[in-house]
Amino acid sequence: MFEAIDIIKKLFAASLAGRDVKHSGTFYKLESTRLWTMPEVAPEILVATAGPVTAKRAGKTVDGLITVGAPLEKIEGLFAKFEEGAREVGKDPSTMPRVLQLHLSWAPTYDEALRNALVEWPNGGMKFPKGDIRSPFELEQMAKMVRAEDFEGRMIIDADPEVHREYIQKFVDLGFDRIYLHNVGRNQREWIDVFSEHVLPKLKR
Q: In CATH, what number is assigned to the domain containing residue 56?
A: 3.20.20.30
* 21 & 50 share domain: no
Measured distance CA(69)–CA(186) in Å, rounded: 21
Measured distance CA(78)–CA(55) in Å, rounded: 6
Q: Confidence class of residue 95 from pLDDT cuts 50, 70 and 90?
A: very high
* 78 & 124 share domain: yes
Q: What is the pLDDT of residue 62?
A: 97
* 27 & 76 share domain: no
Q: What is the pLDDT of residue 110?
A: 97
* 83 & 36 share domain: no
Measured distance CA(110)–CA(119) in Å, rounded: 14
pLDDT per position as a tens digit, 57-85 = 999 999 999 999 888 999 999 999 999 99
* 88 & 148 share domain: yes
* 10 & 57 share domain: no
pLDDT of residue 205 exceeding 90: no
Q: What is the pLDDT of residue 135?
A: 92
* 187 & 163 share domain: yes
* 33 & 66 share domain: no
Amino acid at 36: W
- Total count of domains within the chain: 2
* 192 & 130 share domain: yes
Q: How many CB atoms lie within 10 A of CB 17?
A: 10
For residue 39, the enclosing domain spans 1-43
Measured distance CA(38)–CA(99) in Å, rounded: 24
As a whole number, mean pLDDT of residues 100-112 equals 97
Phi, psi of 182 (to 5 degrees): -120, 105
* 26 & 67 share domain: no
Measured distance CA(33)–CA(148) in Å, rounded: 52
* 146 & 192 share domain: yes
pLDDT per position as a tens digit, 155-178 = 999 999 999 999 999 999 999 999
- CA terminus-to-terminus distance, the chain: 33
Measured distance CA(18)–CA(41) in Å, rounded: 13
* 107 & 163 share domain: yes
Quote the percentage of the chain above a pLDDT of 70. 100
